[in-house]
Amino acid sequence: MQTVSDNLRSWADDIAELLKQLLQASSIKASEWMGEDMWGELDEYSRQIQSKVLNEYRQFSSVLEILFKEQPENTIKTFQEEKKIILSVIQQEWNQHTYFRNCDQALSKAKEALNTQIALLKSVF
């Protein structure tokens, strides 16, 4: 029998796979006039993947928010910081600055953030 934590780990793995698909179809480009890295525009197929992963992550994070509701402030703060990283990778505000140098780094940071959220869950339950 799987625990809630096991089920959430599996869900996080599914989200990580969707993130991988999204980032394989994404781009980060250097802005010549601003000297900053920016997300490239997504095509229609990529936007469909983006929509799917955004929906999945919002549902996932809503469950975690409920579970973390009565936890110490530092746990909630860490969860929210990791959530911002994941959402920035998913939403990819077109033509907006990103602190990621490339899509591989963005994927790595998003997976790391998901793992941190699961680790938080395991540490409190």
Place of tokens 């936007």: 47
Place of tokens 């790595």: 108
Burial 63-88 (b: 16+ CB within 10 A, else e): ebeebbeebeeeeeebbeebbebbbb
Dihedrals phi, psi of 37, to nearest 5 degrees:
-85, 140
Profile the chain (125 residues) by mean pLDDT over runs of 10 residues: 92 98 94 80 96 98 96 96 97 87 97 97 87
Number of domains in the chain: 1
Amino acid 124: pLDDT: 86
Domain, as residue range, for 53: 4-124
Amino acid 34: pLDDT: 66
Q: Does the reported pTM lie above 0.75?
A: yes
Amino acid at 31: S
E-state strands within the chain? 28-30, 37-39
